[in-house]
Chain A
């Protein structure tokens, strides 16, 4: 019964999306103008129906209802409860249902909250949002029904890929999806504004909370995903330039550029066409990202579903939405009025530079991700593009971006004197030189990129707090604090990346019980191997006593786990965090004669990478808070005036 209710709710949502699209279109005709008032309520009910369908599927998974095919294929009676729920979106159909549920909910929230834009543009925006939702509902109902019954029911269920059985997974995909889909509102607003020829500062103000919110979630999702790959895959790295990682990075890069061009449009009325383009690009990258992950046309460690029929369906949707939006852009953007002008040496100029660099990095990642596909399509040969390309191509641009980041907030809007800016930059530049010199003297030559990374991180840290200089901190608006905290987060994260690549020490030993091995400042004693059993796996667990020389000793237990449903092995790293760095231990294979492979890394300051990511997200959250409270204060003032 639950499955049938969910299935019906999905049909209802699809029907309402169709109605919403028709009403919105009719509202622009003479006779249908009265239908305009119906668009918002329909959008709200449509969102509720989509969320209801998803809730039904989650309920089926929590009960392990094995008469539902999807549950039987992806869950198991022995699975811990948290992973039963997480199993809802750990598969193709469920994750697509989550995607449309979030899309519907975002549309409903927009219909409830939007007060900034002209009524016509809001209606057009909701029409665009309905068109997107309709396509994805159709995809679920026709090609990926999550509620198909299985008759007779299965006895136990097949299980969930064990590498996905991790608290990180429970929240990682939903966070990213919320971020991806939050960008759909910016896309729809851009399309709506093009339809009504109403591209102006209001558009930026309407988009900003959605883009900021999506950006917070994308940042958190990417940060969490990076940490998950770091400790779960047991390879000691934190970013692998895997196609699926790139799929989440590309919308983030586009959204970051969008965020900055929005601030120009909102404050100065400039960069109109460019902001519209970025809004289209950001959600397009989200859809392309979802498509790349879900179609399986690029092989990766994340390869879940490989199904050309579904792939073709989603590709057709992408062609309609992205192609349609870009065609509308080409057709209508000529009518967008020229915004306010500015000179090259101005805040706007620095933000344009930021946009160009971010877009260039996005292009590099996109080309690198799709290059193997292009080469194969041309029938040449098979290649894979790895970290050497991405690191070499993006690092110089990223460093240039950070230089712009130091200077940008110190330059005035419209026009500024470059001599004045250079004078303000003396402190950050001096700090960078000092850090580089100290590192060089203390640690020797660590390589050009890590050294530059540490130096520029110091400059960004100094530059990020510089806008607070001489201000009354209590009266500084929250969104200025938000920028300061986010930029500081970038400095912290880059410092972590640079120090991880410069100072990591690694040893691989064939250890016998009782032996002591050294890595970095640590002494690690291999006590022995013990078998343990978990809820749905058995494992060999190494017991290690690790501590700094003369310091407290901690116990570390890296595991080699064997799951039985489905049969798979995973390696769980054990981590000891100490002074911002981490000792990272992985248990490998058994060698002959009672020796075990142990891989040990000491990674100084590595936690800064993710700490910085959290700071970046926290800064954006502060900005949202700042904008919302300011808007409310302003509304109060008008109410009492």
Chain B
């Protein structure tokens, strides 16, 4: 190959044979198919982003990254007496759960809660509204006494578990407390039959007066 012809040869447009092009296209399509199967076949996204669940029972003090949490004995009724406003009624049953929060490291304002009902459904608890949990900022070392109230159908009471966490929107990769409330169908029946209003006091640093 002469020196003058080599550059001319390089400038000429060479095309690979048809078989090679077809093979390459087939390989690209195969890679796309395999990629789709791999990303959609196994549901790993939820597990990778899952929170660290710390389990416990009523009365146990759960040690989370950001706070020490104790869930006390729940009560219930068909009528709720909130701190502010008039009585609230529900087509199901009100569940009122006292929660004690002691922050660790710096002041923490817990805002996330949800109830995993015994019927398999998830009952949302927001920072305000009919089903609410709002403890406010807790000073480290100074226990904060808050109350969570949620309305559920009676079939969700038996076997219900309560989850409490820090950030209301995002609990990924952080500690979440899960407490088995130890409720039975007998509790559900008793509460759906009664209409004595159950109190849901606002959060405070003073322990609630025990009747």
Q: Do A and B bind each other?
A: no
The interface of chain B, by Cβ under 8 A from chain A, is: none
